[in-house]
Amino acid sequence: MVGTATVSMASVGVHIGRVEGCAASRTDDVLAVEEPLEIRLGDRSLSITMRTPGNDFELAAGFLRSEGLISDAGQILSMGRPDDGSTDVVVLELEGEPRAFAQPQRNFVMTSACGVCGKASLQDLAVNVCPILPPDDIRLSPDIIHGLPDALRKAQSVFDSTGGLHAAARFSLEGELESLREDVGRHNAVDKLVGAALLGWRMPMSRSLLLVSGRAGFELVQKALVSGIPVMAAVGAPSSLAVATAEPSGMTLIGFLRNGRFNVYTGSHRILGL
């Protein structure tokens, strides 16, 4: 049974049974919160996603940017809650008619584990053509890359209490943590991070490193590229489609960043020594 005392917007206390060997006991635990968020454009529903509450406006803005529905924060005329005050809905007014409504069959109903479930067909996967990153002079020491996971882990406050959240973090080229967002959905965590940069007028993120706490799938690489991020690292493995997407776009994609080692799958010219 869920406890009545909420630890934070992102976590909740529960009463559980625990068994260690043959010894049973009752105790308390903390879980990551997963609740629906509806994103509306005016009076029309665009997306329903399962997310961890918090940074909802950033999530909505980042989602619109990642899906190619807006290019900068100036296109958002207003953003707020509905008249009934619901905290599970974000209502936006945009400049002009977004492209999403030109295709009525396309919907964005997603689970917390899905970044492309809202696509109505395989053709929709190509609707946001990933940009080719411009040439840059970025050269990174392996020591900077090695230090990213520890910095991420130390800043994951909700993960420490629940163990159930993904994280996305933006670092400077010197390895300094600049922004961190957590969510039950790995794509939501990235959208929140992108939304924070968008609303803060820090786009494109062409001098930033992105670290994600899990694997690197296609949808995360796509979101990073749309935001202009040249280097993306993951604690886990990349997928074949993630590598195939990063390579022609000029992104440096790093996987298995842990325990003092990492693999560079694309864009090795940005890593000193390779």
Catalytic center residues? 114
Give the pairing of strands 76-80 and 89-94. antiparallel
Pick from 200, 234, 204, 201: nearest CA to 220: 234
Report in angstroms the alpha-carbon separations of 260 from 35, 142, 229, 254: 36, 10, 23, 13
Residue 30 pairs with which residues in a beta bridge?
Answer: 13
Cis peptide before 204 (omega within 30 of 0): yes
Instruction: Taking each helix axis as running N to C, give the angle between helix 56-66 and helix 186-199, from 0 to 180 degrees, rounded to the nearest 10.
Output: 90
For residues 254 and 259, what is the distance between their CA atoms, to the nearest angstrom? 14
Pick from 229, 218, 124: nearest CA to 173: 229
